[in-house]
Amino acid sequence: MSLFPQHIIARKRDGHRLQAEEIAAFVRGATDGSWADYQLSALLMAIFLRGMTAEETAQLTDAMMRSGVVADLSHVPGIKVDKHSTGGVGDKVSLPLAPMVVACGVPVPMISGRGLGHSGGTLDKLESIPGFQTGLSLDAYRAQVKRIGCALIGQTKDLAPADRTLYALRDVTATVECIPLICASILSKKLAEGIDALVLDVKFGRGAFMKTLPEAKRLAEALVAVGRAGGKQVRALLTAMDEPLGRAVGNAVEVAESIACLRGVGPADLMEVTYALGAHMLILGGVAQTTDEARSRLEASVRDGSALACFREIVTAQGGDARVVDEPERLPAATWQVPLVAESTGFVGDVDAMAVALAALGLGAGRTRAADRIDPAVGVTALVKRGERVERGAPLCVIHANDPTALAKAKAALARAIVVTDEPPTLPPLIAEVLL
């Protein structure tokens, strides 16, 4: 078998299954630079057009995971469980979820990403807490998971380096939306964390990567199959992302909402998704048998303050100012905090997640290029939810801005994104399906 790049590319171009050695050669080429970017890109496009079998996808994931360090957490007792979301608007679930699950006795090693484009990133949110460090070394990560059961960090250079090269090429060669490539990209990073089990939140809708439930389900099924082929326990929830999750979109404002969630007073939809994902994490972590039992334990961790105490411990361990937990006014605040009011009385018929995300992006809450700096203080809070009744002149949301021009643009965009109707809309379930 030839392992020359052009021969491997030709085989996939012509619709053949690649052998494990060919896949390994491709991943090695992406890691050590021995394949040129145009050769990597050509194979990515051939995979995009021809697809990959489940076996090829599992082999690609494994090779990408092994392109760098695979964290060893065998010194941490218990079943280590993480959660991964395919990304949405206002999706701050990781922040309240990790401490709740840890407070219930399951270690949560979590390596997250930054936001790019319309969807926010857990790291950017956490870094809006003054002093919070997400750039821990793998040794510091391992030590913290052992000591307090959780670390919330960013991807290190040595974790799945092949994905960094391949993702950057996919981004500029129209090869992102490809299930085998998405699976290998997500799971190579997650499996390198040293976890035993994973719960996936695969989102669908206007504010998600996958726009429809059938598409999201195809991705979820592939992720579950490949994760299991990698020897992990995996479950997936399919959750709706047509309107933002919760009432806050931004960074510091989402930390404040996460703290409210840990106090048990978060918005109903955010509490719902957090408890649902957490329940499956507790079951996979071996500390609960049923979702009802798991949910009761999670609720108890909120009621008795142990989840909030765990969040405080994580913030302190990672150099953050833990006083924000009790005094959220210590989080960065924007100069202008201006309500957008309803022009008519009625029901909230729609809150377009993508439009809200783009308004927040325009305020500076996100980035359009990896090198952009974000403004931690800006965003949107007090967003109305679909189905709620509103009176003319009442606020539909509050815009947090540091620039008057950006404020005016966001106001106009949000006025279009939030639609008030005479009749209440029919609301689909938030959690459409669970793949066990």
Q: How far is the CB of 182 from ligand URA (least distance, A)?
A: 4
Q: Which of 39, 185, 233, 274 binds ligand URA (CB under 6 A)?
A: 185
Residue 112 annotated among the catalytic residues of the structure: no
Q: Which H helix or E strand runs over 380?
A: strand 379-381
Nearer to ligand URA, 159 or 414 (CB): 159
Please say if 74 is a catalytic residue.
no
Of 119 and 274, nearer to ligand URA (C-beta) is 119
Judge whether 41 and 156 are in contact, CB under 8 Å. no
Q: Does 52 bind ligand URA (CB under 6 A)?
A: no
Question: Which residue, 222 or 288, has its beta carbon nearer to ligand URA?
Answer: 222
> Residue 280: phi, psi to the nearest 5?
-70, -30
CB of 107 to ligand URA, least distance (A): 23
Nearer to ligand URA, 181 or 216 (CB): 181
Q: For 205-247, list the strands marked E by DSSP.
A: 233-240
- Smallest gap from Cβ 142 to ligand URA, in A, equals 22
182 touches ligand URA by CB under 6 A: yes
The conformation of residue 119, written as its DSSP 8-state character, comes to B
Please identify which of the residues 12, 80, 83, 84 carries the catalytic annotation. 84
In angstroms, give the least distance from the CB of 185 to ligand URA. Answer: 3
Give the interface segment with ligand URA, choosing from 54-62, 101-109, 129-137, 177-185 (CB under 6 A): 177-185
Burial class (CB in 10 A: 0-12, 13-18, 19+), 185: buried
DSSP letter, residue 149: S
**Residue 231 exposed, middle or buried by CB count within 10 Å (0-12, 13-18, 19+):** exposed
Is 189 catalytic? The answer is yes
Beta strand spans in 241-353 (E): 249-250, 336-341, 346-351
309 is written with which tokens? 């105490």
Q: Which stretch binds ligand URA (CB under 6 A): 9-17, 74-82, 178-186, 354-362?
A: 178-186
Task: Give the CA radius of gyration of the chain.
Answer: 22
Of 73 and 210, which has the nearer Cβ to ligand URA? Answer: 210
Cβ-based neighbours of 263, under 8 Å, separated by 6 or more: 302, 308
Q: How many CB atoms lie within 10 A of CB 436?
A: 8
User: Any catalytic annotation for residue 170?
Assistant: yes
* Contact track, ligand URA, 127-166, x by CB under 6 A: ----------------------------------------
Q: How far is the CB of 118 from ligand URA (least distance, A)?
A: 13
Whose Cβ is closer to ligand URA: residue 27's or residue 310's? 27
Helical spans, DSSP H, in 339-403: 353-363
Contact region with ligand URA (CB under 6 A), list: 53-61, 125-133, 182-190, 405-413: 182-190
Which one of the listed residues 62, 82, 124, 163 is annotated catalytic? 163
- Catalytic, 269? Answer no
- Kindly report the backbone phi and psi dihedral angles of residue 81, in degrees, each rounded to the nearest multiple of 5, phi listed first: -125, 135
186 binds ligand URA (CB under 6 A): yes
Q: Is 268 exposed, middle or buried (0-12, 13-18, 19+ CB in 10 A)?
A: exposed
Q: Which residues bind ligand URA (CB under 6 A)?
A: 167, 181-182, 185-186
Active site residues: 84, 163, 170, 185, 189
